[in-house]
Amino acid sequence: MTADGSPLDGVSIAGRWSHATSDFDTGMTTNGSLVVTSDEVRWRGNPLTFVFTLDSVTKPPYTYEGGSISDSITVTQVP
């Protein structure tokens, strides 16, 4: 998003998964959004926590002025 909150198309991102899975993803935004999916679950348990860490954001002439950003989701399977 721009400083005024407007979404940007064509922003390249790169990031990595950790905790319940482990792989890398890259992509480009459309309408200011991007969906990333992990390829596998390496740990089987209940609950599972998936963490995605955004490592780079690029779209010239804009610059990203933050460090790595992480977000997580915890999934509990109900019997």
Say if 38 falls within a structural domain.
yes
Note down the domain range covering 31.
12-72
pLDDT tens digits, one per residue of 22-58 = 889 999 998 888 888 887 787 777 888 888 898 888 8
Number of domains in the chain: 1
Please compute the mean of the pLDDT values over residues 47-73 and round it to a whole number.
83
CA-to-CA distance for 36 and 8, rounded, in angstroms?
17
17: in domain: yes
Is residue 79 one of the residues assigned to a domain? no
Residue 41 dihedral angles phi and psi, to the nearest 5°: -105, 120
Q: How far is CA 3 from CA 50, 54, 59, 74, in A?
A: 29, 19, 14, 30
pTM exceeding the 0.75 threshold for the entire prediction: no
The yes-or-no verdict on residue 79 having pLDDT over 70 is: no
Residue 4 inside a domain? The answer is: no
Assigned domain for 1 exists: no
Please give the pLDDT value at position 3.
Answer: 76
